[in-house]
Amino acid sequence: MFTNLHVHTTYSLLDGLPKIKDLIDYAKELGQTSIAITDHGNMYGAIEFYEVAKKAGIKPIIGEEFYVTNDYKSRKQNDPRYHLIILAKNLEGYKNLIKLTSIANVDGFYYKPRIDFELLKQYHNGLICSTACMQGQIPQLILNKNEEELDFVINSYIDLFGKDNFFFELQNLPTSSEQKIINEKLKELSKKYGVKCIATSDSHYLRPEDAEIQDILVCIQTKQLLSETNRLSMKEFDLSFKSEQYMLEAFKDYQEAVYNTQIIADSCNLE
């Protein structure tokens, strides 16, 4: 089975489109039995998502896409801000998610709510993490060909979470040469470090035809016009919510990554 583990809802403010009930209804329509929520920098939708999913007979996996920086207390404008997917395995993990989110939004907020690796050391129990999208630290180190720091960062996450709770995230973005480089390198690193790969769709809306509406949200968020040429837009990528059949075809040469999502789904049992 395939589980969508990188999913944005309307609570990814002005970035994600689906309302919780619509998301759960669509997942059920596709025959999916579990699903994660990973909104940007917040857990506003967690309880609603949990209750609606449970009622629909779908296992809810509560998570978040965090912004990670070098020092969450720093206020330097050029500080990096990497993405990281973190999921709760159990009640302890859920409480640690809450703690990390609260610190990020109260003490770590600078343009975005941020955490750092030292905070993860304090609140990592009961959590699973993956390397996220192209904006993750490990994907960025791959693109920058920084092998020494790449080795250090990977080993740091393995030492903290263990190989059972840390995953390399592959995404299907056929028009992105950078994503292809990242995917191939992560497959190579998977063999080197013994870290499993998972396949995600980083969904921001339900169906491909919803891309235009999501683009309007992004324009509102960035205070730009649809008519502007040099603006932030994600329309070149299909960020819709994917079926298992779609993902198996998209990763037909590496279907193991699709099935590995079920390892995480089976490990997450939050009541």
- Residue 189: pLDDT band with limits 50, 70, 90: very high
Q: Which residues of 15-53 are buried (b: 16+ CB within 10 A; e: fewer)?
A: bbbbbbebbbbbbeebebebbbbbbbbbbbbbebbbebb
CATH class of 20-267: alpha beta
The whole-number pLDDT of residue 87 equals 98
Task: Tell me the pLDDT tens digit for each residue of 126-164.
Answer: 999 999 999 999 999 999 999 999 999 999 999 999 999
Residue 231 has pLDDT above 90, yes or no: no
**In the chain, domain spans:** 20-267
- The pLDDT confidence band at residue 41, using thresholds 50, 70 and 90, is very high
Distance from C-alpha of 106 to C-alpha of 85, rounded to nearest angstrom: 20
| d(C-alpha 215, C-alpha 46), whole Å | 24
Confidence band for 64, pLDDT divided at 50, 70 and 90: very high
